[in-house]
């Protein structure tokens, strides 16, 4: 099964660390990063999709961050 996650964060080094941590756990970048202005906070936000091949069937109770 291929698991999918969309990582999001404000446009700070925290976003880069979040993506780097996912890559270190075997996740693979999927597509280009995206950026958008969050009017409620007045800040830019980033998003990056990642995927990972995992054993077993899909289980909606399984936390993706623990894969």
The per-residue pLDDT for range 6-50, each reduced to its tens digit, is 999 999 999 999 999 999 999 999 999 999 999 999 999 999 999
Q: Residue 32 to residues 8, 57, 63: CA-CA distances in angstroms?
A: 13, 27, 24
Domain that holds residue 52: 2-58
Question: Does position 66 have pLDDT exceeding 90, yes or no?
Answer: no
Question: pLDDT at position 18, please?
Answer: 96
20 lies in a domain? Answer: yes
Quick one: pLDDT at residue 30?
98
Cβ burial, residue 27 (10 Å; 0-12/13-18/19+):
buried
Domain count, the chain: 1
Beta strands, E only, 1-67: 2-10, 28-38, 43-53
Look at residue 66 and tell me if it is in a domain.
Answer: no
């Amino acid at each position: 099964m291929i698991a999918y996650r969309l990582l999001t964060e404000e446009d700070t080094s925290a976003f880069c660390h979040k993506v780097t941590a996912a890559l270190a756990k075997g996740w693979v970048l999927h597509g280009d990063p995206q950026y958008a202005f969050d009017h409620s906070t007045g800040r830019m936000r980033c998003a990056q999709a990642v995927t990972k091949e995992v054993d077993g069937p899909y289980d909606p109770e399984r936390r993706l961050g623990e894969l």
